[in-house]
Amino acid sequence: QGPNFEMYEQIAKTSKINFVVSGGIKDAQNIKDAANKDYYACIVGKAYYEGKVNLKEVIACLQNG
């Protein structure tokens, strides 16, 4: 279903801690969204296992801006 970005926005607004987006990453766009919001990191599990995320493509995209 995708990460609970509303919850992560609340955390980001009220705290300066680095946190990891975990649970619900369903595709490369979710990873890009987390990166664009400057969240510290995200955990990709099931989506990678199921072939919904190609990490090489995501990394290349994020490195190119």
Domain count, the chain: 1
Question: What is the per-residue pLDDT across 29-46, written as a single tens digit (0 to 9) for each?
Answer: 999 999 999 899 999 989
Higher-scoring residue by pLDDT: 34, 64:
34
Residue-number span of the structural domain to which 36 is assigned: 5-63
More confident residue, 54 or 64: 54
| Average pLDDT across the chain, whole number | 91
| Helix-strand-coil split of the chain, %, nearest 5 | 50, 5, 45
Q: State the burial class of residue 5 (Cβ atoms within 10 Å of its Cβ: 0-12, 13-18, 19+).
A: middle
